[in-house]
Structure formats: C-alpha cells, structure tokens
A and B are shown apart, each in its own frame.
Chain A
Amino acid sequence: MAQRMQQGARPGGSRFAQFKLVLLGESAVGKSSLVLRFVKDQFDDYRESTIGAAFLTQTIALDENTTVKFEIWDTAGQERYKSLAPMYYRNANCAVVVYDITQASSLDKAKAWVKELQRQANENIIIALAGNKLDLVNESPDKRAIQTSDAEQYAREAGLLFFETSAKTATNVKELFTAIAKKLPMDQAGPRGIRAGQRPGVDLRPGDSSTSPTPGCNC
C-alpha cells in the first residue's frame, strides 16, 4: 500500500481518500501557478520561483459521497538542475507534468519528465499532461508553439490525461484535477475507519507518545 494513500469510510457511507500528487515540468512553465489557482483560486503575474510551501492540500468532492484530498508537492525548484530527490517521487499516486504551449522545447522536457516518472515512481501512477498558458494563445494565436493535436496524440500514446490549461484565467484547472481524481483508485477505499491524515508508524511530536492504530504499524 502506498504510504501516502489514506482512505476510509466516513459515517453515512461516504468515501474519503487522500493522494499524493507531484508536479513536474521545466522551470517557469507555471507549475506553482496551476496549483495556486487550484488551491487558492489565485493568480499572480509576477510570481517568483517557488518558495515557502512544504506541500499544499486541496479537497475535491467528486459527488455527494466521494471526497478526494490531494497532498500536492511542489518541486521547490529542485528540478532546475535536475536535483529532485527520490523522496519526491516516493509513493506519489498521481502527477501533473506541465509544459508551456508557447515554448516549443517544453513539451520535449515534459516527455523526459514522464520517462523519469515511469522510472522512479509507482508503476500505477496516474499522469496528467497539462499544456499551460492557454491565455497567451487566446490573446495572440501566433504565440502557439505546440499544436494541441501533437500533444494530444503523445498523451494518448503514453496513456496520459491531457488538458490545455490557463492558471491565469482558470481555464481547465479544476477540470484537470477532477479528471485525475476520477481516475484514482477510489474503489480500493475500504471501510476500514481510517481517519484522514493519519500515518502509519510513530508520531514524533512531543507530548504524544501514542502510536497510531493504522494497519501496517508494527508497534
């Protein structure tokens, strides 16, 4: 079982599951902006390189009974010189690989990240490809450097979800994350009564020497 995947039933038969999502893609394609839009519904034109967030969380209600919580890990800039640690990929349930539709080379970089994910992450990881900065193309169509059909064909062949997005205008951002949520293995969410956010193993926080009753805990 993936350590980061927390699932369980809530009273009333509703289902809840938590998944680790990692972001990948070249610097400055808008990875953090996509997450900021999804999590806080904000956009900042002059956002500096990623700083200051361990990870963000956001919850999606798929239907009345089904809630998915994403624990979203940002690269923290460690992708810039290809120095992401294995810890980043570890137990990731899903990934968003981002490229910039106005930068021809960024799709190639995205393809390389997909390969890296297939090498380092869980075999059954769900990957979505996001062509970001759709707003720039809508403003001036000649800025487009990557045709939708090309990216779509690659995504189909590689088995990826695919969206063209704009973090700035929010186009397809919610749709992107919802599509991922729908593809995640909710059916494995058994009625085991696990509260969200609990982890197996020992809790190191002072004043709490109790161990959690999660299966997999060997204490």
Chain B
Amino acid sequence: MDEIAPEYDVVVLGTGLTECVLSGVMSVKGNKVLHIDRNDHYGGESASVNLEHLFRKYGNHKEGEEPWKKYGRPNDWNIDLVPKLLMSNGELTNILVSTDVTRYLEFKQIAGSYVQQGKGPKATVAKVPSTAGEALRSSLMGMFEKRRAKNFLQWVGDYKEEDPATHNGMNLGQSTMKDVYDKFGLEATTRDFVGHSMALYHDDSYINKPGQAKDCVQRIRLYVNSMARYGKSPYIYPLYGLGELPQGFARLSAIYGGTYMLNTNVDEVLYNGNKVSGIKATMKERGDEGEGMKFETKCKKIIADPSYFSSKVRVVGTLLKAICILNHPIPNTENSDSLQLIIPQSQVGRKNDIYIAMVSSAHNVCPKGYYIAIVSTIAEGDANTHLELQHGLDRLGSIQECFMGPPIPLYEPLESGVNDGIFISKSYDATSHFETTTDDVQDIYRRATGEPLVVEGLRDGQNLVADQ
C-alpha cells in the first residue's frame, strides 16, 4: 500500500454532494486534498442505494427473507436518499457545466411539475403554469384571476433589478411579498401556488417579511427560466440517480490529484491549540481481518459533513421522508414518468408543504414498470410524525413498498470554522432542489479560503488530448 502523504492542505470527511463539490473545486484550484469516507460507498446522505441496501437500511424485512428478490436484480435499482431535483437553470447546473463534470453524467428532464388544490377525496392535481400563456389556460384559476396572474407573471419575467422602470413602482428590497400580491390583486389560491410551487417556499413565513419580495421574485424567475430551458418542467435529473453527482465531483477531484479513501474511520482529530492540525485514521475494508491500515497526517483545514463532528453541530429542524415503490404512475398526472408534486400547506391544514418527487425507469433508477416516489415534509409535531406524510401518501395510489424511518434531524454547524479550521456542511434540507446546497458550498468555500467561489472558467484544461 502506498504511503499517505505526511501533509495535506485540506482533509475532506464524507463524500456527500457538498463535500465532493468542495473537494473537486479545491483540487482544481491546486490544493492537496485527502478525501475520506467511513462508508464503503460514495455519497453519504446524498447517495443512491440499491433495493437490497434500502431494505436492510430500513429493516423492512424479516430475518431470513429476501423480499427485494421479487423486484429483479437489486443493482438495477438506484434509489435516492435525498428527495431533490436539479433546477435546470440553477447553480448546481452551472457548477456542473463550469467544471465539465457533465462529461460523466447524462441528464434527462423531469416530465412534469404539479400542485394540489383541495384535500381529501375532493383534491385535484394540476400542472403548475409557468408562463403568462400557461396561466391563461390553467385550471387552477377562474377567468378574471387568470388575467391578473398573467399580468403578474409578465411583470416577473420583465423585472430587471438594475432597471427601475421594470419595478412597477415598488422597491422590492423593502417590500413584503404581500405588498406585491396586493398590487396585482392576486387571490389567496394564486398566492398559494405562486409562493409554494414556483417560488418553492415550503411555509408561508415569506409573505410578510419586509424585503423578502426581492428573494421571492428571484425564485420565481429561477423557476420560470428553468422551465423555459427544456420545456416540460423546471427540473432535470441525472440518469442512474442523484448518487452520480457526488461520484462525478469526486472523479474531478481525483483527476486533479485528490486522494480517495473509502472504508476509513477517523480515530482522532488532532489540534494545535484551538486549531486543527491533522487526523489519525484507519482504513479497513468490511470483512477484512486484522487492524487495517492506520495512518496519521497533518492538515490545515478539514471540511466535513455534520456526522463527523456531532459536538460541533445543532439540530435546526426535522425532516420526514417516505420512500415508496410503485408499479404505476401517480394518478391524475397524465402518466408522467417523473414529476414533482407539491401539496401546499394551506390546502391540507399544515404549516409546511408536502413534497412528492417521483422518478422511474426512464431515468435508469429502477426496472421497467416501477416508479420511485419520495414523500417528504418538515415535521411539525413530536409524536405520530408518520401521520404527517399521509396526505402525500394518499396521492400515490397503491404502494408496493414503503420505507419510512424515524424523523431525520437536520444539522447546522455551531461555528463558522474560521477559529478551529473545521468547516462543517449543513444537512440536505427539505427544499425540493439543490439551490440551498450550492449556497452552502459557496459559503463554506468563502469561510475556508477567504475568497468567493468563482466556478466559471474552472474547466478541465489539462486534457492530454483534445476531445474531437
């Protein structure tokens, strides 16, 4: 076994998407990176796992039984643990293109974006309108409201921050979104789908915050521009599942000299005073006998997911999630092979929206004829939390398998890392996309290096042979 270097610029712990993007970017920028994961696979909390792995993870089977066998080869399944999709015009797409990680991945559209109105047996599901024209055809609104919505969407589309003529007499940096909705005279149901299925806020706290209007308009524009890019929905998705994303960035890091070690436990974090100075770790493959390979190395910085530093993080929320295997598309969605369906909180008497993200064999994540739907929301109570997902599960029709674990705590670092040199990422939150993940990437990069992360121009320039 080769020697581990005596010193690295950065040691990265955990191979989730956040860590892998940072590892890749750090390596491209010339840092010497050691990237470690305690697991035998890439991806951490953002991995995609096979069906057997999922059954075992959730304990959904009796001893001696192998229920996954009736679903074909376990390896034909790539089931995401995080219910997220990529905004086609979002920052993750930009980073993927700027780093050329797109070479390793193939993306497909998500076929539809839906929103529920009403609840129980009376609930209806409709496509989210994303253009002024679509608003006019939408079943979500009455005739007069359609015109108001059209005016609103047209204004959002034309809005330019630097051009006051497009501001319609408002100062979005100070206005509340309520002011804006009022100005266009939008009804409550329209505000609901605009705020929740286009701006993708999962609760209503955005409405009355002064200055939040600017953020809201930017979110709607991201949705609309993402929608305009490929046409069917604002979302794209990598073939073989989201777990391909961290693998792609890990390869980028490795190509630029990053060293990768799975199956490696961190035994001790070494400090010099308050500041991190290195790690002691052991690499040992599962089933390997003996002590494994113990090593110690110095480092100036550590970037880690929250699971590596439980004493340096706090819980900021609780996510509920059910992964469901279906053998049919979700009812009332035009047999879409993939979709996002949002159930706004107001429609079902909650404070937080319920999200459904569904993909299928069209994305090479399961055998033909199957569909994987993840229902998720933020927990509002302490007890019987599994019931909070029921409105979402009701949308799915018959369910073959349902994997629902205990509520998932969402972590945030206690400190910025500037003092101890340990930069900890946030958990993957309840939002339906990766925009907050890339915010975290940029934030950590700035904290760790003192510079903003500029990904433009980071392309792999060292190809030995130009691609023809």
Which residues of A are at the interface with B, using a C-beta cutoff of 8 A? 3, 27, 36, 39-40, 50-59, 76-78, 80-83, 85-88, 90, 197, 199-202, 204-206, 209, 211, 217-219
Contacts and interface: CB of A to CB of B under 8 A. Distances in A.
A200 B106 contact: yes
A141 B46 CA distance: 52
B81 to A, nearest CB: 15
B464 interface: yes
Given A77-B254, A201-B239, A209-B230, A57 B465 contact: yes
Contacts of B106: 3, 199-201
A90 B228 CA distance: 31
Nearest to B240: A90
Contacts of A58: 465
B256 A51 contact: yes
Contacts of B256: 51-52
Contact of B251 (A76, A81, A209): A76
B138 to A, nearest CB: 23
A57 B260 CA distance: 25
Contacts of B283: 81
Contacts of B257: 51, 77
Interface string B11-55: 000000000000000000000000000000110000000000000
Contacts of B285: 82
Contacts of B247: 85-87
Interface in B62-108: 88, 93, 96-97, 100, 102-104, 106-108
Interface of B: 1-2, 41-42, 88, 93, 96-97, 100, 102-104, 106-109, 111, 228-232, 236, 239-240, 244, 247-248, 250-252, 254-257, 259-264, 283, 285, 337, 362, 460, 462-465, 467-468
Contacts of A206: 97
Contacts of B96: 204
Given A52-B463, A57-B467, A90-B240, A81 B108 contact: no
B359 to A, nearest CB: 12
Nearest to A72: B465
A201 B108 contact: yes
16 contacts: A3-B239, A50-B255, A52-B460, A53-B463, A54-B103, A56-B464, A57-B465, A59-B468, A78-B254, A78-B260, A81-B1, A82-B263, A202-B109, A204-B88, A204-B93, A219-B232
Contacts of B252: 54
Contacts of B88: 202, 204
Contacts of A76: 251, 254-255
Contacts of A78: 250-251, 254, 260
Contacts of A199: 106
B264 to A, nearest CB: 8
B255 A52 contact: yes
B230 A40 contact: no
B230 A211 contact: yes
A149 B193 CA distance: 71
A90 B259 CA distance: 21
Contact of A82 (B230, B262, B462): B262
A69 to B, nearest CB: 8
Contact of A27 (B2, B244, B260): B2
Given A52-B462, A88-B251, A206-B97, 13 more contacts: A52-B464, A54-B463, A56-B465, A58-B465, A78-B254, A80-B2, A81-B262, A85-B250, A86-B42, A90-B240, A197-B468, A201-B239, A202-B230
A203 B103 CA distance: 11
Contacts of A53: 255, 460, 462-465
Nearest to A119: B75
Contacts of A201: 106-108, 239
A218 B109 contact: yes
Nearest to B78: A86
Contacts of B467: 57
A54 B93 contact: no
Given A27-B2, A51-B256, A85 B42 contact: yes
A202 B226 CA distance: 13
Given A87-B251, A204-B102, A77 B260 contact: yes
B261 A54 contact: no
Nearest to A50: B255
Contact of B337 (A56, A209, A218): A218
A39 B260 contact: no
A27 B2 CA distance: 9
A209 B227 CA distance: 11
Contacts of A55: 103
B233 to A, nearest CB: 11
B259 A218 contact: no
Nearest to B459: A54
Contact of A36 (B41, B104, B255, B464): B464
A59 to B, nearest CB: 8
A190 to B, nearest CB: 21
A218 B362 contact: yes
A39 B464 contact: yes
B170 to A, nearest CB: 30
Nearest to B250: A85
A60 to B, nearest CB: 14
A24 to B, nearest CB: 15
B239 A57 contact: no
B462 A51 contact: yes
A82 B362 CA distance: 31
Given A76-B251, A201-B239, A219 B468 contact: no
Nearest to B103: A54
Contacts of A54: 100, 103-104, 251-252, 255, 460, 463
A107 to B, nearest CB: 18
